Structure 1
Amino acid sequence: MLRNIAFIIGYYFYLLLVKTCKIRLVGFNEVEEYWRQKKNIVFCCPHNAILACFIGVDSVHRPNVVLISSLSQDGELVAKLLIKRRFEMIRGSSSRGAKKALLELQKAAKLGKSVGIAFDGPKGPPFVPKRGIVACARVVDGPIFFIHAHVTGSRIWGLKKELRVNSWDRFLIPLPFSKVSVHFEKIPDKSEMNFTDDEQYEKFVLKKVEERTTELYKHIYKK
C-alpha cells in the first residue's frame, strides 16, 4: 500500500517536472544522425543524474530504446514509472539477473534497439562504471554515449532549483520550473583509438567514463 502511494506521488511529481522544466539538449544532434543511419547506441549515465536525464529525453523522439533497471525494490518503482511513460525496460544488474538481462538485450539488439543504463548503479561505488556498458556496446554493435545532466537555474527568480538526497550517489532531484541541461558525449570507438584488443579498449572506456564523471560531479561530495 505504501509503495503504491509512493509510486503515485512520484509519478505526478515527475509529470510536473516534465511540464514545467526548461530542457536544453547538447550533442543530441549526433545521436539523431546515428539513428538516421539505422545504428544502435548505448547510452550510459551516472546514477545520481538519471532523473534529470529522463526528464530531458522524455519528450524527444527516441526510436527503439530499451532501458536496463535493477531488480531491487527501488528499481521496481523506477521501471513502473518509466513503462507508464512509454519507455521499454529490461530488468537486471551486475549483481542480480545479469544473464537474463543479457539474453533480453541480445533479442532487443536484433530488433534494432538501442539501450540505456546507469553505469554505477544500483549501489555504487559512485562514478565507477561497471563492465556491462562495454558488453552492451558489443551486443548492440554501436557507439557509447556518455550522458550527464545538470540543473542550471530556475525559471522563476528566487525559487530553489534542486535537491540532493543524502544517499550513496547524492541523487539529484530537479525542482519544478528549473532549467535542466542534458549533454550527450560520444566515447571514441575502438577503431578511432586504433585498439585491436578488446580488453585494452574496455579499460580505456571505463577509465574515460570514470574520469569524466569525477570531473563533472566530484563537487557534490564536498560539505
Structure 2
Amino acid sequence: MKNKIRYFLYYYLFPYAGLLLVRLLSATYRIRILDPGNEQNILKAGGRVVYASWHQRFFPGITFFSTRKPIAIMISQSRDGEMAARAVDILGWRAVRGSSSLGGGQALETIKRLARKGYKIGHIVDGPQGPFGVVKPGLIRIAQYADLPIVPVITSGQNRWEFNSWDRFMVPRPFSRVIIRFGVPIHVPKSMGRDEFEQMQEHVTHILQQLYEDTDAFWQDDECIKRFFH
C-alpha cells in the first residue's frame, strides 16, 4: 500500500499540482527576450543546440521552453528525478534518464540520436546537487559528443523569492518583470585532452557567471527598465 501511495504522489499528484502552480504563476509574468538573435541564428541554421542554465534560475524557463519543442533534457535516475521526469513528460518534453554517475553513456547516446532527429537539448549545468554556479562535465560532454553548440540561457526576475536551498533557488513573484536572455553560442571542439576539457568547463562557467551578473544589474537602471518594458 505504501508503494502505491508513493507512486501516486510522485507520478501524479506532485507533478500535476506543481505544474499547475508553475503555469498559473508564469501567466502573470511580463517577459521580455534579450539578445534573441543569439538563439535565432542557430535555429535558422538547423536548430541543433544545447541550452545551458543554472539550476537556481530555471523556473521562468519551464513554460517558456515549451514553445521550443521538440526538446529533451537529461534527468537523473533518482526518486526526485522520477518526479521531474514525469513533469517533463506532462509538459510534452522528452526526459532522458541518466547522469555522469549512473547511466550517462546510454543517456549521451540517446541525446545524440534525438539531436539528429531535430530535438533541442536543455541542460541544467550545476544540478541537481551543485556546487552552485559551476559547470559540471555533463554539459561539455553533451556538446562534444552530440556536436551541439552551447547557447547560455539567462533568466532574471525583478522581484523574486529566494529559497533556503543549496543554490538559493529563485522564483519571480507574481506579476514580476522577467528577462530571458540568450548568450553568444559556444562551440566545443570534438577532440580535447583532459586539460583542454577542464579549461572549457572553466570558460563556460565564467561566461555564465558574467552573463548572470550583467543581466541582474539591468534592474538597477530605471531608464533601461522603462524602455525595455514599455
Give the TM-score, by structure 2 length.
0.78
> Are the structure 2 counterparts of residues 123 and 49 from structure 1 closer, same or farther at C-alpha, using a change threshold of 3 Å?
same
Q: Which residue of 2 aligns with 1:50?
A: 58
Cα distance, 1:16 vs structure 2: 0.4
Q: Which residue of 1 aligns with 2:222?
A: none
Which of 167, 174, 177 is matched with 1:176 structurally?
174
> Are the structure 2 counterparts of residues 109 and 149 from structure 1 closer, same or farther at C-alpha, using a change threshold of 3 Å?
same
Question: Which residue type is aligned with residue 37 of structure 1?
Answer: A
- Verify: 1:30 aligned to 2:38, yes or no: yes
After superposition, residues 44-83 of structure 1 pair within 5 angstroms as 44-58=52-66, 60=67, 62-83=68-89
Cα distance, 1:197 vs structure 2: 5.9
> Are the structure 2 counterparts of residues 106 and 197 from structure 1 closer, same or farther at C-alpha, using a change threshold of 3 Å?
closer
Asked whether the 8 Å contact 2:70–2:93 carries over to 1, the reply is: no
Cα distance, 1:38 vs structure 2: 1.3
Q: Which residue of 1 aligns with 2:141?
A: 135
1:85-127, Cα deviation, whole Å (9 max, x unpaired): 2212211112222122112112212313221110111111111
Cα distance, 1:150 vs structure 2: 0.8
Which of 198, 203, 207 is matched with 1:212 structurally?
207
Mapped to 1, the partners of 2:136 and 2:109 lie a distance apart of: 18
Mapped to 2, the partners of 1:169 and 1:120 lie a distance apart of: 9
**Unaligned residue ranges in structure 1 (runs of 5+):** 153-160
For the residue of structure 2 that corresponds to 1:20, the secondary structure is coil
Asked whether the 8 Å contact 2:75–2:84 carries over to 1, the reply is: yes
Mapped to 2, the partners of 1:130 and 1:197 lie a distance apart of: 18
Q: Which residue of 2 aligns with 1:110?
A: 116
Mapped to 2, the partners of 1:38 and 1:5 lie a distance apart of: 38
- Verify: 1:122 aligned to 2:117, yes or no: no
Q: Which residue of 1 aligns with 2:162?
A: 164
Asked whether the 8 Å contact 2:152–2:208 carries over to 1, the reply is: no
For the residue of structure 2 that corresponds to 1:123, the secondary structure is coil
For the residue of structure 1 that corresponds to 2:183, the secondary structure is strand
For the residue of structure 2 that corresponds to 1:142, the secondary structure is coil
Asked whether the 8 Å contact 2:26–2:60 carries over to 1, the reply is: no
Q: Which residue of 2 aligns with 1:158?
A: none
Question: Which residue type is aligned with residue 36 of structure 2?
Answer: F
Q: Which moved more, 1:102-111 or 1:120-129?
A: 102-111
Mapped to 2, the partners of 1:151 and 1:54 lie a distance apart of: 14
Identity among equivalent positions (%) equals 25
Cα distance, 1:74 vs structure 2: 2.4
For the residue of structure 1 that corresponds to 2:167, the secondary structure is coil
Give the TM-score, by structure 1 length.
0.80
Aligned CA-pair RMSD: 2.5
1:69-88, Cα deviation, whole Å (9 max, x unpaired): 22222222222222212212
Asked whether the 8 Å contact 1:25–1:182 carries over to 2, the reply is: yes
